[in-house]
Amino acid sequence: MSDHEYTPKSKAGKWFNDRLPLLTLANHLTDYPTPKNLNYWWTFGGILTFCLITQIVTGLTLAMHYIAHADMAFESVEHIMRDVNYGWLIRYIHANGASMFFLAVYIHIFRSLFYGSYKSPREIIWIIGIIIYLLMMAAAFMGYVLPWGQMSFWGATVITNLFSAIPLVGEGIVTWLWGGYSVDNPTLTRFFTLHYLIPFLILGLVVLHIWALHVPGNNNPVGIDIKKPSKDTVPFHPYIVIKDGFALLMFMIVFAFFVFYTPNILGHADNYIEANPMVTPAHIVPEWYLLPFYAILRSVPDKLLGVVAMLSAILILAVLPWLDTSKIRSAVFRPLYKQFYWILVADVLILGYMGAMPAEGLYLLIARVATAYYFLHFLVVLPVLGFKEKTLPIPLSITESVLGGSANLATAKHKESFDK
């Protein structure tokens, strides 16, 4: 790991690098000092990059054969599945890739929540990540509409109707989204255009996300800053590259299982029925990764307040760095926070299940209780914990956490700041 700027040895390399320093950038990325105690939960950043590239490549291929017209969309999907060379494989990779993308992003988010990766000085990284997450949900919803099956059509009808709850301008927004007075061909055309565009916006934000990460550097499982780079870090290549590569291989095996053995298990059977505006499905549900927020939406009896609650459930994550008042990042040293963290995980899983159930009876009651706790966790529990929680001793350095050693000195050193 060098401390000086990389300089190419050949004349051609120097000439090129002086005018476009890509070689210096590549060397910086491979030589980048990374905390030596990163575990496998940190590999999901690389996995997410793989997922994004996979979705863009397969999406571009599908777009060459898809017809964004209400009369031909459903048949064009069948044409891709039956007549296009390996069209079935490309579509299954794309459809299941969306689920794998969200699975990886949820692990990535909850890892950040556990280890405090959203705290100072990484607030901008976190906020960019939440914007990426919002765009992912928008792209996924629009992509769900494109096959033009029953669940596609009625899902689009229900979700776009939510905008009508906005005072004064709501009805106009809905009419503009539909391109008329109901979900029809103009709606499909607009959704296809936006679905095609948004992944490239996400790609740009991912570049910003990684760039912002390289300013403060990686967080780590103990949540303390790098004290001595020569002792606390290892070069990104080969150490982290090998770990990321192994994790990606394991992830691809799981991905391949869904693609080749159960390609339709994460979808909905009704979407294999062509859209029919005259027949409403018995139970309209979005894809599994949107179910927690769908449950929050339905748990509020008022339409406008339900929309506000659903959006707030996502946007509240953007202000999380300021809601969590604790000065300790990692839950490893926060025993009480760790318990509430797992309660939150259970709460989100419950919301997901309730989102797939009918909004009635006991299901509705449980969804309302889970929704209430979701907001209480961020607005009440986290701010109070920062002042009341007694934390465990933290090690003096990353090296000490890896090799072991007494943390008494660290306790004495930081005790005064914890008590404030």
Q: Cα–Cα distance between 398 and 393 in angstroms, integer?
A: 14
Would you give the distance in Å from CA 70 to the centre of its chain?
Answer: 31
pLDDT at 410 over 70: no
Decide if pLDDT at 411 tops 70: no
Residue 186 contacts residue 177 (beta carbons within 8 Å): no
Residue 106 has pLDDT above 60, yes or no: yes
- pLDDT of residue 26 exceeding 90, the answer is no
Which residues lie across from 274 on neighbouring strands?
149
Average pLDDT value for residue range 390-394: 94
pLDDT of residue 32: 87
pLDDT at 1 over 50: no
Residue 188 pLDDT grade (very low, low, confident, very high; cuts 50, 70, 90): very high
pLDDT surpasses 60 at 405: no
Confidence category of residue 66, pLDDT binned at 50, 70, 90: very high
Q: Is the pLDDT assigned to residue 3 strictly greater than 70? A: no
Which of 129, 348, 115 lies closest to 221 in space, CA to CA?
115
pLDDT confidence tier of residue 417, bands split at 50, 70 and 90: very low
* Residue 11 identity: K
Chain mean pLDDT for the chain: 92
pLDDT band at 418 (very low <50, low <70, confident <90, very high): very low
Average pLDDT over residues 14-27: 84
Cα dihedral across residues 164, 351, 356, 70: positive or negative? positive
Length of the chain, in residues: 420
pLDDT tens track for 199-211 = 999 999 999 999 9
Angle at 146 between CA 352 and CA 283, to 5 degrees: 40
pLDDT band at 4 (very low <50, low <70, confident <90, very high): low
Helix, strand or coil for residue 35? strand
What integer pLDDT is reported at residue 289 of this predicted model?
96
The three-class DSSP label of residue 63 is helix
* In the predicted structure, residue 406 carries a pLDDT above the cut 90: no
What pLDDT is attached to residue 150?
Answer: 96
SS3 263: coil
pLDDT in tens, 251-283: 999 999 999 999 999 999 999 999 999 999 988
The fraction of the chain above a pLDDT of 90, given in percent, is 83
Q: For residue 360, what are its two tokens? A: 């009635």
Please name the CATH architecture into which domain 32-284 falls.
Up-down Bundle (1.20)
Give residue 9's pLDDT: 83
* The predicted structure's pLDDT at residue 5: 65
Which residues of the chain form CATH 1.20.810.10?
Answer: 32-284
pLDDT at 27: 77
310 vs 283, which has greater pLDDT? 310
Cβ neighbours for 161, distance < 8 A, ≥ 6 positions apart: 174
Distance CA 206, CA 56 (A): 13
Residue matched to tokens 């699975």: 103
Per-residue pLDDT band for 393 (boundaries 50, 70, 90) equals very high
Are 196 and 59 spatial neighbours (Cβ–Cβ below 8 Å)? yes
Kindly indicate the confidence band of residue 102, based on its pLDDT and cuts at 50, 70 and 90: very high
Is the per-residue pLDDT at 316 higher than 70? yes
> 324 near 337, Cβ under 8 Å?
no
Most confident among 54-63, 162-171, 222-231 (mean pLDDT): 54-63
Is 124:212 a contact under the CB 8 Å cutoff? yes
CA distance 343 to 349: 10
- Judged on CB neighbours under 10 Å (0-12, 13-18, 19+), 288 is middle
pLDDT band at 230 (very low <50, low <70, confident <90, very high): confident
